[in-house]
Amino acid sequence: MNEIVYLDNAATTKLSKAAQEAVQPYLSGAYGNPSSVYSLGREAKKAVENARSRVAQAIGALPHEIYFTGSGTESDNWAVKSVAELKKGLGRHIISSQIEHPAILNTLRHLEKNGYDVTYLKVNQYGQISLDELRSAIRNDTVLITIMTANNEIGTILPVSEIGKIAQENGVLFHTDAVQAVGHIPVNVKEMNVDIMSFSGHKFGGTKGVGVLYAKKELKLPPFLHGGGQENDRRSGTENVAGIVALAAALEEALLNLPLLKVSQMRDRLIVELLKIPRSRLTGDPLNRLPGIASFIFECIEGEAMLLLLDQCGICASSGSACSSGSLDPSHVLLATGLSHEIAHGSLRLSLSGENTDDDIDYVLEKLPGIVARLRAMSPL
Ligand SMILES: *Cc1c(COP(=O)(O)O)cnc(C)c1O
């Protein structure tokens, strides 16, 4: 088998067919600057505004509540920093969780160095926060709750609507990093009671380097990038027209495919079969989990070694998060779920998409048990 079996869709996805088609004109003839007055420019402007309306529609928002950014990371930075800035007269306390993506955690650490106080809610073995703990963590000076919709490493889906309701009842703004959720499970900003939400095109079949920030219309977010006044004067810089068009097309295609029943069936087959390997366990929530994420611990194994042997078989997977691979620190998410350092090292994440087939799953099930056995035979543990 020379083909690649790609099981790292939580890191990034292949460009979807719809996105590939939609993007073509903007990579060739339709290269105008959306700010220009002549028709080539107006055509680009129309494409961006059309994409904005469709993205808004897809998440239950209004077009002027959608801002295009350069990544999910940028959207997270913008959301957290600008609410902190906007509300600093009212207080400097922020509530988050221990399992956020580094785009949130490192932004919060930066704010902590600048006089903000952050409460990181702990999670249980499944990666779930306690809503009671959230309620008790809210103080007079709390200005923001930022908790992700679904976790990228263990696939746990968090109770976002309930969190949003608690935020509303207490007059606190609620931001959610929905990068792993949008295009994978139904996401509606009204039903989720969110005020601000981040997501990213390349996690659902768009191109890399385009993100979205939703901010409800009542929120007058301060500008994040100062310049020529693009994106309603909030995020200047000539628009990534091709990427924005691709994102809208990919999102619509992804939503047509919901619910991802076939994907969750493949996920469940991986889970059932791989848990037959001795001293293996599932990480994340067994019930409330993303359709595409099967994540495991294989005790007495180094995750990085597993990835190299899988790669030799043409299988792309991940251990911990791609962002921290190359470092020997075990994943902060797995540690937060109560696993020891030693055990957390043996993690494996297989993340699927609609592009995967039953043959891919058969192939992994054929190869992985042998790889685990081989590594254990070599392990000093
Ligand atoms: C991938 C990811 C991000 C970062 O998005 P980029 O577009 O790659 O910057 C943020 N949060 C979560 C949960 C992610 O999975």
| pTM score | 0.96
The answer to whether the beta carbons of residues 321 and 348 sit under 8 Å apart is no
How high is the pLDDT of residue 327? 57
Report the nearest atom of ligand 1 relative to the CA of 321: 15
Q: Taking residues 187-191, what's their average pLDDT?
A: 98
Active site residues: 323
Cα 72 to ligand 1 centroid, rounded to whole Å:
5
Report the nearest atom of ligand 1 relative to the CA of 76: 10
The string of pLDDT tens digits covering residues 112-140 is 999 999 999 999 999 999 999 999 999 99
Confidence of residue 323 (pLDDT cuts 50, 70, 90): very low
Site residues for ligand 1, CB cut-off 6 Å: 71-73, 76, 101, 103, 148, 152, 177, 179-180, 200, 202-203, 211
Cα 73 to ligand 1 centroid, rounded to whole Å:
6
Q: Which of 157, 180, 212, 213 to mutate to test the pocket of ligand 1 (most atoms within 8 A of CB)?
A: 180
Q: Taking residues 48-64, what's their average pLDDT?
A: 98
- If you average pLDDT over every residue of the chain, what do you get? 96
Q: Taking residues 25-47, what's their average pLDDT?
A: 96
Chain centroid offset of residue 121 CA: 19
| 36/39 Cα distance (integer angstroms) | 8
Cα 182 to ligand 1 centroid, rounded to whole Å:
11
Report the nearest atom of ligand 1 relative to the CA of 210: 7
How high is the pLDDT of residue 8? 98
Give the DSSP H or E segment for 48.
helix 39-59
β-sheet bridge partners, residue 175:
146, 196
Express as a percent the part of the chain with pLDDT over 70. Answer: 97
Residues near 89 by beta carbon (within 8 Å), at least 6 away in sequence? none
Cα-Cα-Cα-Cα torsion 194, 198, 204, 209, nearest 10 degrees, comes to 170
Nearest to 63 by CA among 46, 45, 50, 44: 50
| 238/188 Cα distance (integer angstroms) | 28
* CA-proximal residue: ligand 1, atom 6 (nearest): 72
Helices (H) and strands (E) in the chain, counts: 13, 12
Cα 365 to ligand 1 centroid, rounded to whole Å:
28
